[in-house]
Amino acid sequence: MIPMFAMGASDHDDHGHDDHGHGDHGDGHGGHGDHGHGEHGGGSSWWMYLLGFLVLAPTLMCLFNGVVGSSGVSYNPATGEYSSPILMAIILAPAIGAVINGTIGQKLPRPIVNLVGCAAIGLAFLFSISAVGSLMGLEAPAAEGHMAHQPIVYNAFKWIWVGNFQIPAKFVLDPLSAVMILIITGIGTLIHIYSAGYMSHDPAYARFFTYLNLFCFAMLILVLGGNMLLTFVGWEGVGLCSYLLIGFWYTDDAKASAGKKAFVVNRVGDFAFIIGMFLIFTAAESLDYQAITQLATTPETAGPLMGIATAATIFIFIGCTGKSAQIPLFVWLPDAMAGPTPVSALIHAATMVTAGVYLIARMNALFILAPTTMWIVVVVGGVTALMAATIAVVQNDIKKVLAYSTVSQLGYMFMAVGSGALTAGVFHLMTHAFFKALLFLGAGAVIHGLHDEQDIRKMGGLRKSMPIIHWTFLVGCIAIAGVPGFAGFFSKDEILWNVFAQVHAGAPMPGLHVVMWIVGVLTAGLTAFYMFRLYFLTFHGESRVAAGVTPHDAPAAMAMPLIILAALSAVGGYLGVPHILGGLVHWIPGIGEAMSHHILHTWLEQVFTPSANALSIRFEHDQEVVMEWVTMGVSVVVALGAIAASWMLYARPSDVPKTVAERASLPYKILSNKYYVDELYALLFVKPTLLIGRFFHKVVDEVLIDLLLVNGAAWVMESMGAIGKRLQDGNVQRYAGYVVLGLGAIIFLLLIK
Amino acid sequence: MEGSVPLEWYLILSAAIFAIGGVGVLLRRNAIILFMCIELMLNAVNLTFLAFSRYRTGALGALDLDGHVMSFFVIALAAAEAAVGLAIILSIFRHRRHINVDDGNLLKN
Q: What is the DSSP letter of A508?
A: S
Q: Is the pLDDT of residue A695 over 90?
A: yes
Interface test with chain A among B18, B23, B25, B27, by most A beta carbons within 10 Å: B25
Q: Using the beta-carbon criterion (under 8 Å), do A731 and B102 form an inter-chain contact?
A: yes
Q: Residue A309, by phi and psi: left (phi above 0), alpha (psi -120 to 50) or beta?
A: alpha
pLDDT band at A392 (very low <50, low <70, confident <90, very high): very high
| Residue B2, domain member (yes or no) | no
Kindly state whether residue B72 falls inside one of the protein's structural domains. yes
For residues A507 and A352, give the distance between their C-alpha atoms in angstroms, rounded to a whole number. Answer: 31
- The alpha-carbon radius of gyration of chain B (Å, integer) is 18
Contact B101 A733 (CB under 8 A): yes
pLDDT of amino acid A1: 35
Sort out which chain B residues have CB atoms less than 8 A from A732's CB and list them. Answer: 101
d(CA A120, CA A127): 11
pLDDT of residue A17 exceeding 70: no
Q: What angle do CA A366, A369, A374 make, to 5 degrees?
A: 90
Question: What is the mean pLDDT of the segment spanning A287-297?
Answer: 89
Rounded to whole angstroms, how far apart are CA atoms A407 and A386?
10
Give yes or no for a cis peptide into A328 (omega within 30° of 0): yes
**Does pLDDT of A461 surpass 90?**
no
- Looking at per-residue confidence, does A67 or B42 come out higher? B42
Instruction: State residue A514's pLDDT score.
Output: 87
- Rounded to whole angstroms, how far apart are CA atoms A402 and A390? 12
* Residues on chain B bordering chain A, Cβ-to-Cβ distance under 8 angstroms: 22, 25-27, 101-102, 105, 107-108
Q: Are residues A387 and A327 in contact, defined by beta-carbon separation less than 8 angstroms?
A: yes
DSSP labels, A107-173? GS-HHHHHHHHHHHHHHHHHHHHHHHHHHHH-EEE-GGG-EEEPPEEEEEEEEEEETTEEEEEEEEE
How large is the average pLDDT for residues A656-682?
86
pLDDT at A618: 46
Q: Say if A729 is an interface residue toward chain B (CB within 8 Å).
A: yes
In a domain, B18, yes or no: yes
- State the Cα–Cα distance between residues A521 and A726, nearest whole angstrom: 89
Cβ contacts below 8 Å, chain A against chain B, sum to 15
Q: Please state, in angstroms and rounded to a whole number, the distance separating the CA atoms of residues A562 and A558.
A: 7
Nearest neighbour of B101 by CB, restricted to A729, A732, A737 = A732
Q: What is the pLDDT of residue B55?
A: 81
CATH number at residue B86: 1.10.287.3510
Strands A152-162 and A81-83: parallel
Q: How far apart are CA A439 and CA A406, in angstroms?
A: 11
* Residue range B83-103: mean pLDDT, rounded: 87
The residues pairing with A157 across neighbouring beta strands, listed in sequence order, are A169
CA B47 from centre of chain: 10
**Residue A683 is which amino acid?**
L
For position A597, what pLDDT does the model report? 73
Out of B25, B27, B108, the one facing A730 most closely (by C-beta) is B108
> Considering its fold, how many domains does chain B have in total?
1
Query: A722 — contact with chain B (CB < 8 Å)?
Result: no
**Three-state SS sequence of A679-737:** HHHHHHHHHHHHHHHHHHHHHHHHHHHHHHHHHHHHHHHHHHHHHHHHHCCCCHHHHHH
Ordered DSSP codes for A21-58: --HHHHTTTTT-HHHHTHHIIIIISHHHHHHHHHHHHH
Q: What is the arithmetic mean of pLDDT over A692-707? A: 91
Any domain includes B66: yes
List C-alpha distances in Å: A120 to A71, A206, A562, A618. 18, 13, 21, 47
A chain contacts of residue B22, beta-carbon cutoff 8 Å? 740
- Domain assignment present for residue B1? The answer is no
Q: Phi and psi dihedrals of A134, rounded to 5? A: -65, -40
Lowest mean pLDDT: which of A353-357, A460-464, B8-12? A460-464
Burial of B10 (0-12, 13-18, 19+ CB in 10 A): middle
What is the percent of chain A with per-residue pLDDT over 70, rounded to a whole number?
Answer: 86
Nearest to A566 by CA among A476, A448, A501, A655: A476
Q: Which domain holds residue B40?
A: 7-104
CA distances from A325 to A332, A628, A750 (A): 7, 30, 86
Q: For chain A, how long is the longest CA-to-CA vector?
A: 126
CB < 8 Å to A736, chain B: 25-26
Give the pLDDT confidence of A226-238 residue by residue, as tens digits: 999 999 999 999 9
- Model confidence at B109, pLDDT cuts 50, 70, 90, reads low
* Cβ(A261)–Cβ(A252) below 8 Å: no
| Cα gap A330→A324, rounded to integer Å | 7
- Three-state secondary-structure class, residue A580: helix
Q: How far apart are CA A701 and CA A33, in angstroms?
A: 58
What is the arithmetic mean of pLDDT over A294-311? Answer: 83
Where in A475-528 does DSSP place strands (E)?
none
Please check the confidence at residue A2 and state whether its pLDDT lies above 50.
no
Question: How confident is the model at residue A615, as a pLDDT?
Answer: 53
Least confident of A130-144, A314-328, A643-657, B42-56: A130-144
- pLDDT confidence tier of residue A50, bands split at 50, 70 and 90: low
Least confident of A32-36, A538-542, A627-631: A32-36
Burial class (CB in 10 A: 0-12, 13-18, 19+), A483: middle
Q: Tell if the pTM clears 0.90, that is, is over it.
A: no
Strand (E) or helix (H) holding A369: none
Model confidence pLDDT, tens digit, residues A584-616: 777 777 777 777 777 888 788 777 876 665 555
Residues 6+ apart with CB under 8 A from B45: B14, B18, B74
**Residue from A593, A469, A598, A451 nearest A539 by CA:** A469
CA distances, A637 to each of A508, A640, A703 (Å): 30, 5, 68
What's residue A258's pLDDT? Answer: 93
A42 pLDDT higher than 80: no
Which of A27-36, A359-368, A580-589, A710-719 comes out lowest in average pLDDT? A27-36
- Determine the pLDDT at residue A37: 37
**What confidence tier does A653 reach under pLDDT thresholds 50, 70, 90?**
confident
Calpha distance A110→A479 (Å, rounded): 35
- For residue A440, pLDDT over 80 is answered with yes
Between the alpha carbon of residue A171 and those of residues A39, A128, A155, A270, A521, the distances in Å are 43, 13, 6, 21, 39
Chain-chain contact of B26 with A730 (C-beta, under 8 angstroms): no
Q: Is B109 domain-assigned?
A: no
CB–CB of A730 and B105 under 8 A?
yes
Residues of A in contact with B105 (CB under 8 A): 730
Of the two residues A488 and A37, the one the predictor is more confident about is A488
Q: How far A726 CA lies from chain B's nearest CA (Å)?
A: 11
Percent pLDDT > 90 in chain A is: 48
Asked if the C-beta of A743 comes within 8 angstroms of chain B's C-beta atoms, the answer is: no
Helix axes of A398-418 and A510-539: crossing angle, nearest 10 degrees = 160
Q: Residue B65 falls within a domain, yes or no?
A: yes
